[in-house]
A and B are shown apart, each in its own frame.
Chain A
């Protein structure tokens, strides 16, 4: 009951929004579009807060990298029960280039600085769909990783993690300090209540710059184009099951 948990939270376009690609093919339209916390990050925060409630961890720190608006995402984590926040300010061109490699360097530097014994992040962000940050953070720290976790339990100085793998589930035991990435089935995130939202306003969010952490943001990946995927031809409605089977047979599908 001494550990400190660092939770990574990302601000992304809300999962229910139908995105639009910019006409100049440089990216997707983000201005005026509803943003919220990445769903997998909510699960990560929930898990961290539960560990604290079980008195297995003493403090939960929520971290987000990006522009000013990320503070709202951190605020949400604070309302869910995180103790304090760290906003790593990245904007403009640097923010466009901010990928999992840069974020994992920031997370690793903060994990050391804050003497965290556990880092929890979501398994992937639903915008970039990279599924890399947790693994890379673990690598940079030389810590073990429990990716795609659907169950986490503290056992002595380590963790038992049940992972979602292709054919089913597997269990591993990893030593702490460690990095865990949350899968959908890890838990059901709580809603922040109004009193907790009010309380969260009093909690501290520290602002730091990547340079303060000794992290360089240069990227050697270049986005050449972002385009719409090919559109499917519109289909037909069939009247009966017989009709459906006949059509599938005639087209050679069955």
Chain B
């Protein structure tokens, strides 16, 4: 009998500890649509074992809040609508998150490690006087995380003894949460007085019909070897045969072949597609940092000594100006 009581007590204590975890995911969105990396962040948040809430702040949140309420694993959607949230400026969002934190006392606050999350979360952490953790690739326990350092050349396991754990999540390291089957409640949160020290002016987004780089199943990337922006057309043609996104090395961006937002690497985007085809890219440490977790890597390069061949599953030593059109033709045939 004592045994039974003990077991029950233990179970209660266990579930209490479980319940004491609570995570706030800061949703990234365009007012129209949820940004996919938020779904990866929700999966990471679910791994912590506690209740997961999502904060949607913007000028028009109804659509995104509705989308989020159906996402599996989300318990509560907190909605903050205000004209001051135009452009998602961290100066305005940080006080909102702090006010929300005061009200609900989350143990964890996270977001995807995108330009949005990277800009915002450290600002929140400093206000809470806690050290944040960037771009985590795994969660070992509610206070122990794994992240990469030195351009992905070392894995660092960190134990965080802060009262609130603030972190960003590498999207490619966690599956996206399912967008159906959830049934979260929705709640308005009060919005602090606007700070007004920054103002969003405009955006100049690169328009493309191809899949988004960080979530594409296949990525075709070009480097200095392409020699000009016009020659990137060869890669676009190849990419179209595989429904692939097109990326680039820093050399290609610096030379003006393609815009910055296509850069893959330590300081650009981190991708981990099923198939990564590196064309005319030597494979510098900084580029490898952004793609070496791809499932299959193909390298097409005329230099047999190029470091990219050390990580490539399939390497073809050839002139890309011959090989790429040939490959495009072969894929057309099926």
Identify the A interface with B (CB < 8 A). Answer: 13, 15-16, 18-19, 21, 28, 40, 99-101, 104, 123-124, 126-133, 135-140, 143-145, 147-148, 150, 160, 163-175, 183-185, 219-229, 232-238, 240-242, 244-245, 247-248, 251, 253-254
- B126 adjacent to A135 (CB under 8 Å): yes
How many Å lie between the Cα of A99 and that of B162 in the bound state? Answer: 14
Task: Give a binary string over B220-252; 1 marks a CB under 8 Å from any A CB, 0 the rest.
Answer: 000000000000000000000010000000100
Work out how many contacts link A and B, with CB atoms closer than 8 A: 250
B315 to chain A: which residues have CB within 8 Å? 235-238
Contacting residue for A220 out of B94, B130, B151, B295, CB 8 A = B130
With a 10 A CB-CB cut-off, give which of A124, A172, A236 has the most chain B CB atoms: A172
B126 to chain A: which residues have CB within 8 Å? 101, 104, 135-137, 139-140
Q: Known: A136-B125, A139-B94. Is A224-B144 also a contact (CB below 8 A)?
A: yes
Contacting residue for B122 out of A21, A132, A164, A166, CB 8 A = A132
Q: How near does chain B come to A153, taking the closest CB pair, in angstroms?
A: 12
A139 to chain B: which residues have CB within 8 Å? 94, 122-127
- B318 adjacent to A221 (CB under 8 Å): no
Identify the B interface with A (CB < 8 A). Answer: 87, 89-91, 94, 114-116, 118-127, 129-135, 144, 147-162, 197-206, 214, 242, 250, 253-254, 259-261, 266-267, 269, 274-275, 285-286, 292, 295-298, 309-318, 323, 326-327, 330-331
Closest to B161 in A: A220
- B148 adjacent to A169 (CB under 8 Å): no
Q: Known: A172-B199, A172-B200, A235-B297. Is A128-B149 also a contact (CB below 8 A)?
A: yes
| Besides A163-B115, A228-B155, A235-B315, 16 new A-B residue pairs in contact (Cβ under 8 A), listed by A number | A28-B149, A135-B119, A139-B127, A145-B123, A164-B260, A170-B202, A170-B204, A173-B198, A185-B253, A221-B133, A222-B158, A229-B148, A235-B314, A237-B315, A248-B296, A251-B296
- A248 adjacent to B298 (CB under 8 Å): yes
- A129 adjacent to B200 (CB under 8 Å): no
Q: Which secondary structure dominates chain B's binding surface?
A: mixed
- B330 adjacent to A245 (CB under 8 Å): yes
Q: Known: A131-B134, A168-B259, A241-B316. Is A175-B198 also a contact (CB below 8 A)?
A: yes
- A100 adjacent to B275 (CB under 8 Å): no
How many Å lie between the Cα of A131 and that of B89 in the bound state? Answer: 17
B312 to chain A: which residues have CB within 8 Å? 235
Contacting residue for A168 out of B121, B200, B261, B330, CB 8 A = B261
Contacting residue for B150 out of A100, A129, A172, CB 8 A = A129
How many Å lie between the Cα of A251 and that of B298 in the bound state? Answer: 13
B144 to chain A: which residues have CB within 8 Å? 224
Q: Known: A147-B118, A170-B204. Is A132-B330 also a contact (CB below 8 A)?
A: no
- B269 adjacent to A101 (CB under 8 Å): no
- A15 adjacent to B261 (CB under 8 Å): no
How many Å lie between the Cα of A229 and that of B199 in the bound state? Answer: 41
With a 10 A CB-CB cut-off, give which of A126, A166, A254 has the most chain B CB atoms: A166
Q: Known: A139-B123, A254-B275. Is A129-B149 also a contact (CB below 8 A)?
A: yes
Closest to B330 in A: A245
A selection of 16 A-B contacts at a CB cut-off of 8 Å is: A99-B131, A129-B147, A129-B149, A132-B134, A135-B119, A136-B123, A140-B126, A148-B115, A168-B203, A168-B204, A184-B250, A222-B158, A229-B155, A237-B315, A238-B316, A240-B316
- A126 adjacent to B203 (CB under 8 Å): no
- A221 adjacent to B197 (CB under 8 Å): no
- A18 adjacent to B153 (CB under 8 Å): yes
Contacting residue for B87 out of A137, A140, A172, CB 8 A = A172
- B114 adjacent to A129 (CB under 8 Å): no
- A185 adjacent to B260 (CB under 8 Å): yes
With a 10 A CB-CB cut-off, give which of A28, A139, A234, A245 has the most chain B CB atoms: A139
B115 to chain A: which residues have CB within 8 Å? 147-148, 163-166
With a 10 A CB-CB cut-off, give which of B114, B124, B150 has the most chain A CB atoms: B150
